[in-house]
Amino acid sequence: MVVSLVTGLLGVKGMLDQRSAEKKAAADRAAVGKLEARQFVNELFLAKAQAIDASIQRQRQATDIESSNIARFSAFGREDRSVAAFLKANRDRVGEDIENIERQSEQIAAKYATQASVAYKYGQNSAAGMRATSNANFLGNIYKLAQEINPKTIDTVTDFFKKTT
């Protein structure tokens, strides 16, 4: 009888330890989902910063080239409408390049925002699934333990608590 009582107590302790470990694993999975989401958000901001840098570099390059072209045309003594049209066409191309850089940046930002959302949701949903599995395991283990307890052991424990109270 004492053996079955000790076995029962060890069973309960094992169940509680297992449940605690499963809850910790679920919390860890949720935390990993949050960290992955933060990493994607960081990538998003990095991509935006790189796009801004690329736009600035393209604008500087265009300004340098335009200054060089103006100097060349001036050296040749040309300052007519064809020169103005040539410079305007170059400015238009630079504007298109910068628009393309911005469009690509928005596409990359949308991709990272989606990945961040999915990583966060996956972590939360995975943790919820782990918690549900933990609860089911715990209840199943309690049921199995209850079936294995000898009725005489229950009577002895009940009598013990009645005498001490």
What residues contact 50, with CB distance under 8 A and at least 6 apart? 105
Domains and CATH numbers, the chain: 2-164 (1.10.287)
Are 12 and 106 within 8 A, CB to CB? no
- The whole-number pLDDT of residue 80 equals 78
pLDDT by residue, tens only, the chain of 165 residues: 566 667 777 878 888 888 899 999 999 999 999 999 999 999 999 999 999 999 999 999 999 999 998 888 888 787 778 888 999 999 999 999 999 999 999 999 999 999 999 999 999 999 999 999 999 999 998 888 878 777 777 777 777 778 876
* pLDDT value, residue 156: 75
Residue 3 pLDDT: 67
- Residue 163 is predicted with a pLDDT of 80
Contact 152, 44 (CB under 8 A): no
* Nearest Cα residue to 33 out of 97, 134, 118: 118
Instruction: Quote the pTM value.
Output: 0.69
| Calpha distance 39→47 (Å, rounded) | 12
